[in-house]
Every structure is written in C-alpha cells, then in structure tokens.
Structure 1
Amino acid sequence: MSWVDSIVFLSRDLLPVAAVAAVLVVLVSVWGYGRSRLPMRLKLTGITLKTLGILLLGFCLLEPQWVDKKAKPGANFIAVLADNSQGMEIRDAGSATSRAEELAAILKPQPGDWQEALDENFQIRRYSFDTRLRTTGDFDSLDFKGRASALVGSTRNLGQRFSGRPLAGILLFSDGNATDIESLNDGLGQMPPVYPVVMGKQSPIKDISIASVQVTSSTFEDAPVVIHCQLAATDFPAEKIVARLLDADGKVLDTQYPALGQAMKVKFEVKPESLGVSFYTVELGQTAQTEGEAGEEEATLANNRRVVAVERRKEPFRILYVAGRPNWEYKFLKRALDDDPQVDLVGLIRIAKREPKFVFKGRDGESSNPLFRGFRGDEEEEGSYDKPILKRLNVKSEDELKDGFPKNAGDLFGYHAIIIDDLESAFFMPHQRELIRRAVSERGAGFMMLGGQESFSQGGYENTPIDELLPVYLQRSGNVSPVDNLAFGLERDGWLSQWVRLRKTEADEKDRLEDMPKFRVLNQVDRIKPGASVMASVLGEDNKRMPALVVQRYGHGKSGALLIGDMWRWQMAGKNKNEDLPRAWRQIIRWLVTDVPSRVQLATEADSGAAGLGRRLIVKARNEEFKPLGFANVELSVMPNGDESQAVDLSVDPSSTEAGAFESLYIPREEGGYVARAVVRDENGKTIGDVEAGWASNPAADEFRSLQPNIALMEDLAKRTGGRVLDVSELTEWAREMPSKQSPVMDSFQTPLWHLPWMFAAALLLLVTEWWLRRRHWLP
C-alpha cells in the first residue's frame, strides 16, 4: 500500500470550506505582493511561504489520519524448514565446523534471538526434510543422515499443507543442493514468501567425484556398450586420479586415467557376457602412493562410486530376408549372424520364378499343374504355374510364411527389419508394397535393399511405395555406362558413424580399405534424396565416384540402399577376408534394428517427486498392427539386484495422457541396481510380451554431486515467491520486521496526523517566516 493510500480524512465534508478559504487567502496574498515594489524573487518567496502554510492548516482542518497495517499477533504462522540430509556434513574450506554444526547452533533457541522475536507475533511451526517432509517439535532431533534432499518438493508440500491457513512465510535453511531440482520445472503453486538462508560458502573444497554417468549402446562390434563418466576434481591434479570399472562380483575389468589438460572425462567400453540387465560399478580413487607418502584427504568418499545399469536385449530381433534367387549374399549374411544371439534371420528365397510346366500332360486351356489336379476338380487345390517356388529358412513355426510374403500388417509388422535382395517389384502385390512402406513409416522397422540385377531401377520399383521410402532417386537421366574394378571408400558421414567403420583408428581403417577387393556390380543412381546420407562410395576406373551405401530416416523407421551387388567378393580376398565381411554385416544389421520398437516396451524414468529417488515405470503395449492396445493385463514387478526371490509386485494404472500405456511408481530403499519386469497379456490371456528394464540408484553420489552451496537455486525460490535470501546475521532484524510485512491476517491502526506537534510547528514556521519577510521590507 502506497503512502497516499495510507492517509484518510475524517472531515471530508469540510473540504469545500477549507478549499475556498485557502484560495481566498492565497489570492489576497498574491494581490498584496503584486502591488509591492519588491523584487520578483522576494514576491514569489512570500507567496510560496503563505500558500504552504495555509494549505497545511487546511490539511489539518480535514482531520487526516495515517492508517497502517500490522500482522495480527498470534494469528499467522511462520514455517521454519531445516535441511536434514547428509550433505550438510560437508565442512567448508577454512572452517572448523561443518554446515550441520553451524545450522544446529543457529536453530538452538537463545534469549533475545530471532526465534524469540518471531514468537512474539507469529505461531512458529518447525519442519525438517531429507527424502521427505517431516514435522518436528524442536530441532534437537536433527541427525543429518538423510539419503537425499527433497528441497523443492518439501517446500511445495509445505505450502500445500497450509492451503487455506494463514502462512506468512517459510524460513528455509539449506545449502541448496537439491536432489529433486528437476521438479522445479513443474512450478511451486500458490506459495507464501520463501526466505532462504544459505548454509555454507563458496570455497575450494578438496574432493574428487563422479559428476554423471551415461551409458550408450553402439553397433561397433568390439564395444557394443560405452560407459561415459564425467568427473569433477578440486585441488586434485589429474595424474593422481584413477577410475576403475568393476563387475557385479567386484572384479576390476578396466582402469582409466583422465587425460591431462582436458576435460575430466573417461569412458569404458564393455561387452556384457549375458543378455538382459547387467550391473557395473565405476569407482574413483587415487593412484598408488610411494612408500611413506600419504594419500590426499577428501571431503567425502560418497561421491566416488556409482552403480551403472547396462541392458542387452534378451528377445532377438527378427529380420525378414527376401531374395529373388539363391545367392552368396545370403550365405555369408546368414553365417555372420549365426554368431549374434540378438538377431534371427528369417529367409524367404525364391527357387524358381514359376513352377515347371508339364504341358504334354495337361489339357487344352489348363493353366494348373495336372499333378495337383486331384479328383474333385477343386481349383483351390490345384497348383498354378504362375506361382513362384519359395524356400522358407529359419522360421519359428510351420505356419510362418507358408503363403509366401506376408499379406497383412499383423504378420509383416512382427519383423523388426526387412531386407530385399535381387528381387523385382512385380514379385509383390500392390498392397504388399504398401505394407512394406507402412512397416517402416508407422511400425518403425528398418528396411534395406541390396544391389543386384533385379534391384532398384532394374527391378521396376519406380513410382511404387518402396520407391518412396528408398534414400535414392531411381529415375536416371542418360545412358548407364558399364563399371568395373570399383574401389570401396568411406564418405564423411561414414567416417563419423561407428557402424560403418571396422577399425578403431583412422589409420587402421585406411589400411583396411586399401586391402579390400574391387567390386564389379553396382546399381547406379544419379541423386540421393534430401535428408539422406551417403556413408560409402565406390571409385570407378574413370575416377568417377558413385554412391554405394546410402541411408535415411523415414517416418518412425529408417531405410538404406546398399547398391553394390557382389559384396560376397569381400569374403574371397584380403588379409582379414574371414573376419571383415561378417563383422560388417553384423554392424549394418545392428544399425538397421537399433531403436526399432517391440509390441511391448518397458521404460524407466527418474521421478523428481520422491526426492529424485523414485522411478516411474512405463509399459507400452500395442496390437499386431502396432496400434495402442485398448485392453491389456499388465503384471509389473521389481527385483533388487535382479534377484527374483526379492521381487516386489507393483500396482499398475493406465496412463491418463497416452493410450496403451500403463504406469507405476517405485521408490528404492537401498543403493544398487534394480530390474523391472513386465508381462503383458491380451484380453484372451495370451502373452504378447515379457520384457525387462534396469536402472541404478545412487542416492549418496547424487547427494554429494556438488559440494558448493547452490545459491542460484535459493535465489530463484525467493524470486518466485516474493521473498529474499537472508544472511545469518540478518535473522534477528528480519524477525523484527516481519510483523510490518504483508501477512494473511492483519490488524489496522490509525494515527491522527493533525495532532502531531511537528504539523502545527511547520505551519506556524511558514506563516511566521512570511510575516517576518513582509515586516523586513516594511510591508503591511
């Protein structure tokens, strides 16, 4: 409320009288000074003095009152919120006490302190928080052993607890290192002013820690999983730090040292021995000391260790390989994938385009094979000459592909990728070509066409749905010149993609490329489509470079074109002929099926609402056409460290935002790895998916991720709620000022301004000064 609004007049009805009297007096004064021979400066001074004096007397005539508000004693609440997490045990550089000890001393009541000043006008309610908000009668129960700091959530929950009650403010004591800081993006809701008191100060605290860990899967065969670690160190040289990777049994698998003069990063490349979820531990330590030399003392060891979850898919990816004729490409591709337990290659190979005709045994006008005529004359039982002879390979049931290439989405969408090799477009019916396009764009499958005499343009794929999803334009301009002795090489995008390279270093990769045999078969194209990437090319005898491997994203899936038609030659020559081609095929196939969804998916996400410890489990179920499943029976359980004997069954609720999705929340109680398992059944009780997902809980490492107080977060909380950050030395003064600040319940009081002695003295001084000025210059 502004000072103008704080003034009220009890005698507003006298305003006309006061105004008329004041105007008359001022006019008479102006007339009198106007007739005098005084200098203009003195005339204006006299008029001003009399005018101000008369106005001040008129102001008093209206009986002005100063109205002010003050918090009603005992009617409002003040919440005092203290951080009880183990992160408060940190001791700042140069300090003899920890932040916890300093906070305990501040919270201990003393005569005449800030708590006593607050208690005179407010009801004080005391709370502490770590993993959750707790009520406390006093702060003697603080032990500073909490596993996490739910600072944002506790502050929000405290405001909700007092919804509808007169809460004047929240006094927050913390270092600001919240483990649920992400939940601040959800807002705080209706909150009273928050007054943070930052415990600790910015200082160089000697410590090394693992700031973050990220796991990425790779199609590179030697290292399918890479663990990236971001390290942090204060007053520790990099040469004294060592990072180790341990398996679940505590065996050291790898040791890394941070590079000098670079960012504190290390990475571990591992290949889990078993499928499913595996757990590893990353530890930081100091390098071995010489005899008699002591290691450096750290602020805490809790942030030197993190458990990491690594997932390798249990259920194999299923790939449908369709070929126009038996060839060596399938032989070497099948041989390469036999060593990969995560991939099943299902083959559908045409042995002959049409069934042999025994015309001399048939009847005139008969198009079917007389050997299959039967005795009932049923045309459906007779074999047509026009049907190709197909060979099914590696099918999982007798019914799979028994009618040839799938004719409906339910059958085709069961495959994670489709490979077409040396097969013309006419082999497929129009709706089958459309199904292939939908499998990539809607289902998210991978697609690749291999080169051959009946592939791409030579296969008549122009202006078909398959032409639409290919990364190259099939239409050619001009004549096609014969090619031979094609040298294979990588393009820029290929050098940057792990799944295209076969060696770890550029020098080794160049040596490998030089040793590759020359190819002789290529489906030539003029242009690639916008958004596509050329991974590899071939160089002809005329030094003309032509695309050899082109890929692109298409809808929810991806597509590729391998334009070389005789990849099998790679197996016949070169120093590593028995290793490189199988490895290249495996990496190409892994890229093709990476990120391809299954009918049932289980994902885990960090839930910031439980102090950052909770994990939200999301199950997505789809029908055979990969549309959200309307009804599903979902069984969800969590196994600490993957131990089925300790499995905990969870309740599952349908998602309110996404059809076919089901959610649950799990809060781990201990540090370590956790495996979630979801079994989904349809309305008929048939199991359509049994999947697992894992994660690691590292509450101590998260709590000590940063040892410096988060002043920015505390300032943000104060700014969002209309409070301000306080220093410890300001607490008593703040407590005495609080009654005059805006509170939910206020008392009003009035002070008569016209009764104040200085008001009459000011009016009298103005008039006496004006009278003295007139007498000084002999005016009446």
Structure 2
Amino acid sequence: YLQTGPEKYYRQGIESPTELSSGFPRSREELYQYESLILGDIEESFFNADQLQMIEDFVAERGGGFLMSGMIDEGFISTPIADVLPVTLIEESFLPSHLRGGIRRGTQATGELFFPRLTNNGEFSPLLRLAADDSENDILWRQLTELQGVYVTGRIKPGATVLMEHPLLQYQNQALPLLATQRFGSGRSVALTTASTWRWQMMMPSADESHETLWRQLLRWLAVSAPERVTIDFDREFYNVGDEVNITATVLDMEYGPDNDATLWMQTNNPLDIVTDSPMEWDIEEDGVYRASFVVEEEGVYDLLVDVASAAGEGASGAFEKRAAFVVTPSLREYNNAAMDGGLLARIAEASGGTYFNVDGIDALADTVEFTPNAFSQEVQIDLWDQPWLLALLISLLCLDWVARRLKGLS
C-alpha cells in the first residue's frame, strides 16, 4: 500500500475492503498473514515501537522476508530494524564530506549516475541471473542503463552477503553495498541502497524484461523462507501397492507458533473415487505435529484434504485446510535392492563352505572348482583298458555275432 495523505492509503491486491484500511498492521496476527515485507523511502516516525518490534519478530520468528529500499532513515539506528538489516546504519554527520549530500542530489558523489558492479557472489547468485548462460548473462548486465544515487551505510554485518556494489565510492575501505542479503532468525533480509532500479524499466526498450526478472527473483527469494500455517509431509517420495503411508501435518497458530490445540481431519480420495475420513492424532513429543497412517491398496493418484480447526488462544480461532497428493505404483518388491551385495554373498559362501568370487578374482574360479574335497566325496582313478569286465564284454559280443551268422546260414 502507499500513503497518499494523513490517514489516507492507496491499497492494491487486497482481499477485503478492510485489509490495511488503517495503515500498517498493528498486531502480529494481522502482519503474519503476509510472507514478505518491503519498505521504501519511509521514515522511522511512521511506525510506533510495537510495530518496529513486530517487524523484527516477523522475520526472526514468522520466517518472513524483509527488504528495505532507497533511503534508510537515520531514525532507524538503534531500533529493531537496524538489527534485521544486513548492513550497519551510520549517521550522516559521521561520514566523510564526499559521502554526504543524500541519495538523489546529482551535485554530490552519492547522487551521481553509475553502473553497478556485481561482486563474485553476485555473478553466481540466482537472484541476479538474467540468463542461464554466463556469457549471455554478462552481456545483458552490460546493456542495462545506469542507476542514480546510493544511500551510504556502514560496515557489512558478519554473515551477510554483498551481491552488488558501487564501482567507485567506498567507506572504511569497503565499496558501498548496493544489494546485500542475510539470514535473520527463521527469515531473510535485504538492503537495496538505491531507489533507481526503475531506470532499468523506464530507460530500457519496452521488450526488455530485465527489471521484471530481477524483482521477481528477489521477491521469490524473500518469500520462500516463510512457512505456511499448515504443511503436509510424507515419509517417502513414492509408494507401491500394499505400502503403509505415514502422513505428518505441522500446524501453526495465528502468530506462527506451534499449535497443539487444533483438531485435524484427513479426507482421502483413492483412485476409485472412494472417500474416507479419519482423524489425525497430535504427536505428544513434538509441538504442532499431527500424524496419521493407512495402507494403500489401489494403484493411481490419491488426493488428501486435511481440514484444520484451530483454537490456539483468544482471537486465534479459525478453520482452514491443506491439500496434497501422492502416487501409488504397482508393487516392485521383487526388484527392491536388486543390486549385487558382495558382503551378503561372501557371508553365504562362508556359511555353506563355498567361495565368493568377484570380477577381479574370476581367474581363480576354474582352478578352485576343478576339485573341492569334502566329507562326502573321494577321488578314484581307474584304467579301463585292462578291466576284466571289458574283456568279458568283447568275448560276449563276438559270440553273439557267431550265433547270429550260424542261424542265418552264413559262414
């Protein structure tokens, strides 16, 4: 939203006429509905002390994203906002003279035109990627028009990452950061110390979408750390017929703390379009975690609908739901762990008195299986040429031949 006058706000993308009607949220329940928060050219006096603390909690506890762009009012020094930002804040009176003058004054060094410089981290960051190919990405960045004006901050905080910096201006032997990020608690924060990225939209050809691409990637990165109030997890990525499916639902209350007082019902729609309802039980060992399980007997897609009725404190009641799906394939148990298990084969061979060979020792196989002595075999060598039964067989054959000839009248 945009403040257009005293107690007057221009709002976009609202879901109800009352949303943000009184300005910035005044309660955690109201603020925590959002996944990211962007402040641009705003003074510290716009907020009260509770709202400033809420913003810090929104990032650290809710896991939301926070971005401050353009001028950062000195009034934020020593406030929770200063803790959240990835850069330290410093009063202008402490700066050297050439860094004073403000972010938009073209007569001052801080207000001049400049081409931003990507740091080593920035060159490989997905936040600043304009093309998948490195050379093409470099060309697109070189084609962007200049920015104008930079707000001077202090040192980069430990753990923060600078993605873009001023090519000329420095403070305390450190290039002035233009875009810095860090993780803060469960969330993320960004400092964008220029308010002129609009030039990449207005000063570029209408077909160029670099400005849109950069802001989409930045906002997506900010919001990705913010959890939903209900998340569903499965114990496996896929299932076969006959498997047991273990389902875990994590529920957060209106202030995004674990909710142990919710009532959960799970509706399962199997591939035959048969719907079954079952409760999910709270896991007493884990706050906000509820579990259920069942055996799948049909192949195909299973649709789940988890309905949550929460009652975690006054003003935090409500009903909401979460959908999920998983696929069941034919049973492949016969092919499970089909890879060769050399250790198992060696143990079987040892237990049965055999020998295990791998590919490297295959040359010894022929010599080993030629003769394997054991308690039930004996080697015996017999010469057949001087055996009595062989002589008797030959005489019998000759006699049989003589008798046959005599019966036929042959000589």
Interval containing the TM-score (normalised by the shorter chain): 0.7 to 0.9
What letter matches 1:637 in structure 2?
Q
Task: Classify 1:639/1:502 alpha carbon distance in 2 versus 1 (closer, same or farther; 3 Å).
Answer: farther
1:556 is matched by which residue type in structure 2? Answer: S
1:475 Cα deviation (Å)?
2.1
| Cα separation, 2, equivalents of 1:685 and 1:426 | 30
Find 1:689's aligned residue among 320, 328, 336: 320
Distance, in Å, in 2 between the alignment partners of 1:695 and 1:559 is 34
Q: Distance in 1 between matches of 2:235 and 2:167?
A: 48
Pair 566,675 (structure 1): closer, same or farther in 2 beyond 3 Å: same
Q: Say which of 559, 578, 584 aligns to 2:189.
A: 559
Confirm or deny: 8 A CA contact 1:515 1:575 kept in the other structure: no
Alignment of 1:488-507 (within 5 A): 488-507=116-135
User: Equivalents in 1 of 2:294, 2:237: separation in Å?
Assistant: 9
Residue 611 of structure 1, CA deviation:
11
CA gap of 1:424–1:690, structure 2 versus 1, over 3 A, is same
Output the CA distance in 2 between the equivalents of 1:443 and 1:526. Answer: 27
Q: Which moved more, 1:586-595 or 1:472-481?
A: 472-481
Q: Any unmatched runs of 5+ in structure 2?
A: 101-108, 355-411
Distance (whole Å) between structure 1 residues aligned to residue 334 and residue 179 of structure 2: 48
1:727 and 2:358 correspond: no
1:711 Cα deviation (Å)? 4.2
Correspondent of 2:76 among 461, 483, 489: 461
What is residue 447 of structure 1 aligned with on the other side? Answer: 66
Question: Structure 2: how far apart are the matches of 1:607 and 1:512?
Answer: 39
Q: Structure 1 residues 448 and 729 mapped into 2: Cα distance closer, same or farther (>3 Å)?
A: closer
In the TM superposition, 1:548-697 aligns within 5 A as: 548-575=178-205, 578-606=208-236, 613-640=243-270, 645-683=273-311, 687-697=318-328
Distance 1:686 1:438, change over 3 A: closer
State which of 403, 406, 418 in structure 1 corresponds to 2:37: 418
Instruction: Give the 3-state SS of the residue equivalent to 1:727 in structure 2.
Output: helix
Report deviation, 1:539: 1.7
Deviation at 1:575, TM superposition (A): 4.6
Alpha-carbon distance in 2 for matches of 1:608, 1:697 = 7
Please state if 1:524 is matched with 2:155.
no
Equivalent residue, structure 2, for 1:205: none
C-alpha distance in structure 1 between counterparts of 2:295 and 2:123, whole Å: 43
* 2:95 aligned residue: 478
Q: What is the Cα deviation at residue 529 of structure 1?
A: 0.7
SS of residue paired to 2:127: coil
State the distance in 1 between where 2:197 and 2:90 align. 24
| Superposition pairs of residues 291-310 of structure 1, within 5 angstroms | none
Q: Quick check: 1:655–1:663 contact (8 Å CA) kept in 2? A: yes
Distance 1:434 1:612 in 2: 51
Separation in structure 2 between the aligned mates of residue 526 and residue 701 of structure 1, nearest angstrom: 61
Matched residue SS, 2:57: helix
Which letter maps to 1:582?
Answer: E
TM-aligned CA distance change 1:695 to 1:522, over 3 Å? farther
Give 2:320's aligned amino acid.
G
Distance 1:670 1:440, change over 3 A: same
Which aligned pairs between 1:212-227 and structure 2 lie closer than 5 A? Answer: none
Q: 2:151, 2:83 → 1: CA distance?
A: 17
| 8 Å Cα contact 2:264-2:307 kept in structure 1 | yes
Instruction: Give the distance between the partners of 1:656 and 1:635, measured in 2 at CA.
Output: 17
Contact 1:621 1:660 in 2 (8 A): yes
Q: Deviations for 1:91-119, whole angstroms, at most 9, x for unmatched residues?
A: xxxxxxxxxxxxxxxxxxxxxxxxxxxxx
The letter of the residue matching 2:230 is V
Determine the C-alpha separation between the residues in 2 that align with 1:614 and 1:711: 30
Would the aligned equivalents of 1:608 and 1:614 in 2 still touch at CA under 8 Å?
Answer: no
Q: What is the Cα deviation at residue 624 of structure 1?
A: 1.2
Residue correspondences, number: 336
1:410–1:578 CA distance, 2 compared to 1 (3 A) = same
Instruction: Give per-residue Cα distances to partners, 1:303-336, cap 9 Å, x unaligned.
Output: xxxxxxxxxxxxxxxxxxxxxxxxxxxxxxxxxx
- Cα distance 1:669–1:609, how it changes in 2: closer, same or farther (>3 A)? closer
Match for residue 396 of structure 1?
15
Q: Which residue of 1 aligns with 2:25?
A: 406
Partner amino acid, structure 2, of 1:395: I
Normalised to the residue count of structure 1, the TM-score between the two structures is 0.40
CA–CA distance in 1 between the matches of 2:282 and 2:149?
54
Q: Distance in 2 between matches of 1:672 and 1:490?
A: 49
Alpha-carbon offset, residue 618 of structure 1: 1.2
Where do 5+ consecutive residues of structure 1 fail to align?
Answer: 1-346, 356-387, 716-723, 733-780
CA deviation after TM superposition for structure 1 residue 607, in Å: 9.8
Q: Structure 1 residues 502, 614: CA separation in 2 closer, same or farther (over 3 Å shift)?
A: farther
For the pair 1:432 / 2:54, whether they are aligned, the reply is no
Shift of 1:688: 3.3
**Amino acid across the alignment from 1:413:** Y
Distance 1:495 1:691, change over 3 A: farther
Aligned 1:318-337 pairs, distance under 5 A: none
- Change in 2 beyond 3 A, CA 1:566/1:663: same
Contact 1:485 1:541 in 2 (8 A): no
Q: State which structure, 1 or 2, has the greater radius of gyration over its C-alpha atoms.
A: 1
Match of 1:350 in 2: 3
What is the aligned-residue RMSD (CA, Å)?
Answer: 3.3
The CA distance in 1 between the partners of 2:237 and 2:208, in whole Å, is 49
The aligned amino acid for 1:663 is: R
Could you tell me whether the CA contact under 8 Å between 2:234 and 2:248 is conserved in 1?
yes
Percent of aligned pairs sharing the same letter:
25
Q: Give the whole-Å Cα distance in 1 for the aligned partners of 2:329 and 2:52.
A: 49
How far residue 662 of structure 1 moved from its aligned partner, in angstroms, is 1.0
CA deviation after TM superposition for structure 1 residue 420, in Å: 0.6
Alpha-carbon distance in 2 for matches of 1:703, 1:550: 53
Distance (whole Å) between structure 1 residues aligned to residue 316 and residue 209 of structure 2? 46
Choose the corresponding residue for 2:176, options 543, 546, 550: 546
Cα distance in 1 between the residues matched to 2:267 and 2:142: 53
Contact 2:240 2:329 in 1 (8 A): no
